[in-house]
């Protein structure tokens, strides 16, 4: 095993490292709250598109229902190569808990964006379910189109089941959510310049001490009932100096790929 220290926080659950013992062990500079940081308990009735992406029956990442057989998440959730073995992957929908209730869906296929790189460019992935993503409190959400205007200062909502904190690696029993504000791109790029900034496939949102973090990766960022982003990466979760970074679903190279694959 090798050990790598990075300051960028992957917002995937530490369970990932437990599942893939062959992966590089990653340690991060103080990584505070890994839930939706300073969020509130939320009910699935208000977030019917929200899914728990599970590997070997353990919550790993968030995902969103986008169609009858399709879910959307982040490619980096599969950096260990588990997308090549979808039999180990499942989705839980229709429950406020990542542990019980709702419906479990087995996965047929996982597709990473063909231009995805491990520095989070094109950080989106599609999951095809073996059966229809249907049931009580399970409903698809519309994806932002290419011409969707991300207005700096406008409000949006992120949700998920990320870890409570880096020391206590437990997953919250209830879905968390919090409101964020879209950050102007140049401003975000300047703030994150020491971390190589952001690409055109990304955008930023911030809530001061409110944020997404480990275990929230792949989860939805929503504005006016439109899915506009996927939780991707960040620095020092919940640090008001650093906004969170999201995959931009209205970026042409992302949105058109989703449409070609899913017809959505």
For residue 161, the 8-state DSSP code is -
Residues 6+ apart with CB under 8 A from 194: none
How far does CA 44 lie from the centroid of its chain? Answer: 17
Q: For residue 111, what are the β-bridge partners?
A: 126
Phi and psi dihedrals of 255, rounded to 5? -65, -40
Active site residues: 76, 121, 217
For residue 136, the 8-state DSSP code is T
Phi and psi dihedrals of 44, rounded to 5? -65, -25
For 246, the 3-state DSSP assignment is strand
Q: How far apart are CA 46 and CA 222, in angstroms?
A: 12
Which token pair is 115?
Answer: 């231009």
**Radius of gyration, CA atoms only, the chain:** 16
Q: How far apart are CA 60 and CA 58, in angstroms?
A: 6
* Residue tagged 């699935």 (tokens): 44
């Amino acid at each position: 095993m090798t050990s790598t220290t990075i300051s960028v926080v992957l917002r995937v659950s530490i369970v990932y490292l437990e599942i893939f013992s062959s992966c590089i062990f990653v340690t991060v500079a103080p990584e505070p709250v890994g839930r939706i940081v300073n969020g509130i308990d939320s009910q699935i009735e208000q977030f019917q598109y929200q899914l728990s992406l599970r590997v070997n029956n353990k919550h790993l990442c968030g995902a969103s229902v986008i169609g009858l057989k399709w879910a959307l998440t982040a490619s980096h959730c599969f950096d260990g190569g588990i997308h090549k073995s979808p039999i180990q992957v499942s989705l839980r929908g229709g429950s406020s808990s990542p542990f019980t209730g709702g419906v479990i869906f087995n996965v047929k296929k996982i597709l990473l964006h063909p231009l995805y790189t491990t520095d989070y460019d094109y950080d989106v992935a599609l999951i095809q379910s073996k059966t229809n993503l249907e049931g009580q409190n399970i409903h698809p959400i519309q994806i932002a189109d290419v011409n969707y205007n991300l207005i700096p200062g406008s409000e949006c909502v992120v949700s998920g089941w990320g870890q409570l904190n880096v020391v206590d690696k437990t997953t919250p029993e209830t879905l968390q959510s919090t409101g964020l504000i879209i950050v102007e791109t140049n401003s975000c790029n300047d703030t994150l310049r020491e971390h190589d900034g952001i690409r055109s496939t990304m955008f930023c949102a911030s809530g001061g001490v409110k944020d997404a973090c480990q275990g929230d990766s792949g989860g939805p960022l929503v504005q006016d009932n439109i899915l506009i982003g996927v939780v991707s990466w960040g620095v020092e979760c919940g640090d008001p100096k650093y906004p969170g970074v999201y995959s931009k679903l209205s970026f042409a190279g992302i949105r058109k790929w989703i449409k070609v694959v899913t017809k959505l």
